[in-house]
Amino acid sequence: MAFDHQTLVAFSKSWGLFYLIALAAAVLVYALWPSNRKRFDQAKNSIFDKDDRPGE
Residue span 29-48 as binding mask against another protein, x where in contact by CB under 8 A, dash where not: -xxx------xxxxxxxxxx
Minimum distance, C-beta of residue 27 to another protein, in the bound complex (Å): 4
Helices (H) and strands (E) in the chain, counts: 2, 0
d(CA 46, CA 48): 5
d(CA 42, CA 56): 19
How many amino acids of this chain bind another protein (CB under 8 A)? Answer: 27
State the residues that interact with another protein by CB under 8 A.
9, 13, 16, 20, 23-24, 27-28, 30-32, 39-48, 51-56
